[in-house]
Amino acid sequence: MNYFPAEPFRIKVVEPIKMTTKEERAELVREAGFNLFSLKSSEVYIDLLTDSGTGAMSDYQWAGMMLGDESYAGSKNYYNLEKAIKNILGFPYFVPTHQGRAAENLLLSLLVNENDYIPNNMHFDTTKAHVLHKKGIPVDLVIDEAYDPTNNYPFKGNMDLTKLENFILDKGTDVIPLIILTITCNSGGGQPVSMENIKGVSDIAKKYKIPFYIDACRFSENAFFIKTREPGYEKKSIKEIVKETFSYADGCTMSAKKDAIVNIGGYLALRDKDLHQKASSLAVLFEGFPTYGGLAGRDLEAIARGLEEVTEESYLNYRIGQVKYLGDKLIEAGIPIIEPPGGHAIYIDASRFLPNIPQKEFPAQALGVELYIESGVRGVEIGTVLAGRDPRTGDHDYPKLELLRLTIPRRVYTNNHMDVVVEGLKKIYQRKDKISGLEITYESDILRHFTAKFKKI
Ligand code: PLI
């Protein structure tokens, strides 16, 4: 039995959650059109839909909320956050935004022109959508290991440096206004990026004079993997690793809803003064005055405090340990997952779990529905439903991997909750041959996964 660190906190406030019966859940999910997004949260026992904005703030963060300075301009919380971003990440400038995608909007609006290419290890949906919105072309250049669920390579989020350099040589630097690196790589299973790779991307970016930005949502989880997996970093502190990570970049977009453990917020951090000025002007249009950027002063304070807490090693030891706890138990039970376990979620490989359901009948969606009925656990499909349709052919845009993501909110659930998830999946695995696929009865043109309706085949 592996050792998993206990929580480095004690619980001061609790929120009751309700267990429904299997019969009730079968009815509720049928009424929801077999789409877990359409369930009320009160109908869910353990909610693993996302780790975004679902974390539990500390008493220190809540206390900071009481010190919110809600002045329209020059709030003291803005300056506290500025100090935290300078100290922890090392960026001199920042613009607060209401969440991560708003920071993407500012950055990409300023840098991307029609038909520009934007290389990333793997774009997250919102980044991809913002690139497309600016009429750019998103390109994923992650290493091939990322697409092999049983490959245990320690840094499966790495950018393929050869592919990147060849891509630049092929297209030319004029049509590549920036390179993005997403740490950890959410779309690839929450897999980390090594420091060697971050530096490698930065070196290529410098060589070709292309700006280099980090999608930093899960930067401290990435730093923990570097510390525990990359030779030469064992003795470095998380703060040192985080500083080094960002030292290679020109800036970062951040959803503070992840690795700042707040319920809302984000920012664009920058090294370039002129770009900061432009981003600040644009922020006035989309977000608000640059010292609050779509947030309340109290939110800025909670982010500043969260950035400190999230770089504590005892927290990360527990956090990554809990995700591994769930992953290891599933592997032990023979349940196919993306290996090794990622930083914020476990991704069940639905193609191997339900080999009898063809991709066109949405195996990952069917598995998500089944897990909800079995245990009241809500995961999220990262597969064909999410991928949508190919606009040229109208057919489903079949992704390489068909996954059910079980995303662990920060500091919210205990390992007993994780055991409920494991037991539920074990039961489903025993009767997997009896599970049928789904057929779409309604879908919207864009982002269909949120509102699609299904029926059982
Ligand atoms: O949800 P936002 O707008 O605060 O952040 C957007 C965003 C950007 N990059 C990455 C890597 C993300 O994972 C991300 C949001 N992720 C969500 C909502 C998730 O459920 O994974």
- DSSP letters for 173-222: GGG---EEEESSBGGGTSB---HHHHHHHHHHHHHTT--EEEE-TTHHHH
Among 108, 257, 447, residue to substitute to test ligand 1 (most atoms within 8 Å of Cβ): 257
For residue 343, give the amino acid letter.
Answer: G
**What would the 3-class secondary structure string for 57-120 be?**
CCHHHHHHHCCCCCCCCCCHHHHHHHHHHHHHHCCCEEEEECCHHHHHHHHHHHHCCCCCEEEE
Q: Which residues are bridge partners to 454 per DSSP?
A: 440
Structure tokens at 268: 């664009």
CA dihedral 139, 140, 144, 145 (to 10 degrees): 180
Q: What is the pTM of this model?
A: 0.96
In the chain the domains, ranked by start, together with CATH numbers, are 22-51+312-456 (3.90.1150.10), 59-309 (3.40.640.10)
CA angle 255, 142, 108 (to 5 degrees): 45
221 lines ligand 1 (CB under 6 A): no
Model confidence pLDDT, tens digit, residues 275-326? 999 999 999 999 999 999 999 999 999 999 999 999 999 999 999 999 999 9
For residue 216, give the amino acid letter.
Answer: A
State the pLDDT at residue 1. Answer: 47
Shortest-distance Cα residue to atom 21 of ligand 1 = 50
217 lines ligand 1 (CB under 6 A): yes
182 lines ligand 1 (CB under 6 A): yes
State the pLDDT at residue 447. Answer: 82
What SS3 class is residue 375? helix
State the pLDDT at residue 2. Answer: 62
At residue 337, φ and ψ (nearest 5 deg) are -130, 170
**Regions of the chain where pLDDT drops below 50:** 1
Among 255, 382, 408, residue to substitute to test ligand 1 (most atoms within 8 Å of Cβ): 255
215 lines ligand 1 (CB under 6 A): yes
Number of other CB atoms surrounding residue 286 within 10 Å: 14
Shortest-distance Cα residue to atom 18 of ligand 1 = 52
Shortest-distance Cα residue to atom 10 of ligand 1 = 124
Whether the CB-CB separation of 425 and 333 falls below 8 Å is answered with yes
